[in-house]
Amino acid sequence: MTKDKKLAKKLTEVAIKAIQDKIGKDITLIDFDGVKGSLFDYYVICTANSPSHADALAEKIEEDVRNIMNLKPYKREGLRNCEWILLDYFDVIIHIFLKETKEFYNIESMWTDVKQTHYDDVN
């Protein structure tokens, strides 16, 4: 976990706002505070309508995090098919799923014993 939990929390706030700005759906924040052995502080998970929407969400998140926090993701995965895009900021992992892929993997269910915050969809 990060030495600077406030920085990680701010990154989640910027990412969630970017997702909401691009009308991402089903936003969930998973907080791994107090989870022994966790390598990260937060997961941010959301759903995109289409591959192009997933790509637009990833671009918006990266742009806002770079402009506001001067950070770039350590690793980016899934941009080729855009069914599951992962942006790795070390302490914060952002998952952008297509609906079918999100339902198939259902990663929120793996962490039912961890604090989860679900955000209302913005229209």
79-110 pLDDT per residue, tens: 888 899 999 999 999 999 999 999 999 999 99
Tell me whether residue 123 is in a domain: no
Tell me whether residue 94 is in a domain: yes
What does the radius of gyration of the chain's CA atoms come to, in whole angstroms? Answer: 13
Domain count, the chain: 1
The CA angle 117-105-50, to the nearest 5 degrees, is 85
Q: Are 85 and 61 in contact (CB under 8 A)?
A: no
Q: What pTM was estimated for this model as a whole? A: 0.93
> For the domain that residue 21 is a member of, what is the CATH number?
3.30.460.10
Q: Is 76 exposed, middle or buried (0-12, 13-18, 19+ CB in 10 A)?
A: middle
For residue 13, what are the domain limits? 5-118
Q: In angstroms, rounded to a whole number, what is the distance separating the alpha carbons of residues 59 and 77?
A: 13
